Homo-oligomer: A and B are copies of this chain.
Amino acid sequence: MFKNFKSVDKTAYGRGSFDKLGEILAPHRHEGNKYLIFFVDEYFEGNQAFEARIPMEAGDALEYISVKEEPTTELIDSLRDKYLAEKGMPSGVVGIGGGSVLDVAKAISLMFTNEGSSTLYQGLNLIKKPGLFACGVPTISGTGAEVSMTAVLTGPEKKLGLKCDWTVLDQIVLDPDLIASVPNNQWFYTGMDNYIHCVEAKTGQYKNTFSEAFGDKSLEMCRKVFLELDRKDPLSDEMMMVASYMGGLSLTYSEVGVCHALSYGLSKVLHYHHGIANCIAFNVLKDVYGEYVDEFKFIVNKHNVDIPSNLSANWSDETIDAMVEVAIKLEHMWRHAFGDNWPEVLDRARIKEWYKRM
């Protein structure tokens, strides 16, 4: 598998680096109508101490992003149209939040320069022009969105990313202090998103030595965070942040697998968030991921986290069938997990069976 992958152009890592954001953004304020839009997780709305640290200048815009639902093509299109009408072309965008907010920043930076609806560009290499300058500041770690070349969007037809070299952020600021106050459940689900995609990356045909080195180191740090360190230990946030960065890079030369395919169905049809949807799915995948599922359950137990189960009793056949249809279309994931002959071991009945176990 030959890939020539694009890296995030510049990376600032370290405690307190968030306070350097103004300095980092300064050289990027000169294009277009000379203003930046800050997309910020609504979790911070009204947190005056935090808001005061966002380096806004006269003319800049701040847009709180609801993360109740994952970002939709409609949200991206309407935000783009609103800003173009009201303030003209920005110089760039900054996302401050979790994977959803980073994906909003990545997607909208592209949609300012590519015409029409973002639904036109869901898929690989459909984008025609580079986007505006885009900076990401994760406030929760585990999604890998800070380094990935995907901005995942839910559209009327499908949940699928805008994916091309230009989707990759231009700048990331990784400040472990920012993830210290993440609520426990969210911290856990998102951290386990990283655990799960590292496992998927290494258990499929596309992995190589590059991918395994990043994924294995990420898993090692994940285990340290979840099984050894106290969450109050500053090293815990530092390791989680670096694990997420490395986990994202492990996917550069590999792919997600069965769990993500099922999880996309849960998110598209039942609106589960990505992190918890992955946990719900991974929890029933012992036949595919064996001892990793045992380890997952051990970690869940240790942290006393609630992974929703017995859900399918309340799902109609139509609901399950709808999720199966979402999942089965994700052929690149099945091909990675089961090889080129995946249709021989995978059919709608098997996918349905997994959903029924949830």
Which A residues are closer than 8 A to B by beta carbons? Answer: 1-14, 16-17, 20, 24, 165, 171, 174, 176, 208-210, 213, 216-217, 221, 235, 238-239, 241-243, 245-246, 253
Contacts and interface: CB of A to CB of B under 8 A. Distances in A.
Q: Which 3 A-B pairs have the closest CB atoms?
A: A209-B238, A7-B7, A4-B12
A200 to B, nearest CB: 19
A238 B208 contact: yes
Nearest to A173: B4
A213 B246 contact: yes
Given A4-B20, A246-B213, A13 B239 contact: no
Given A5-B10, A7-B8, A10-B7, A213 B217 contact: yes
A12 B208 CA distance: 12
Contacts of A239: 209, 213
Contacts of A1: 14
Contacts of A14: 1-3, 208, 210, 253
20 contacts: A2-B17, A2-B20, A3-B13, A4-B10, A4-B11, A4-B20, A5-B10, A6-B9, A14-B210, A14-B253, A174-B210, A209-B238, A209-B239, A209-B242, A210-B242, A213-B217, A213-B242, A213-B243, A216-B217, A217-B217
Contacts of A11: 4-5, 7
Contact of A221 (B208, B213, B246): B213
A1 B3 CA distance: 34
A188 B141 CA distance: 38
A213 B7 CA distance: 18
A246 B213 CA distance: 9
Given A4-B24, A213-B221, A208 B10 contact: no
Contacts of A208: 13-14, 238
Contacts of A4: 10-12, 20, 24, 171
Given A238-B209, A246-B213, A9 B10 contact: no
Contacts of A176: 209
Contacts of A24: 4
A120 to B, nearest CB: 24
A12 B3 contact: yes
Nearest to A13: B210
- Which of A13, A208, A221 has the largest number of chain B CB atoms within 10 A? A13
Nearest to A23: B4
A180 to B, nearest CB: 14
A2 B17 CA distance: 7
Nearest to A5: B11
A238 B212 CA distance: 11
A7 B9 contact: yes
Given A13-B253, A213-B239, 5 more contacts: A210-B242, A213-B217, A213-B221, A213-B242, A213-B246
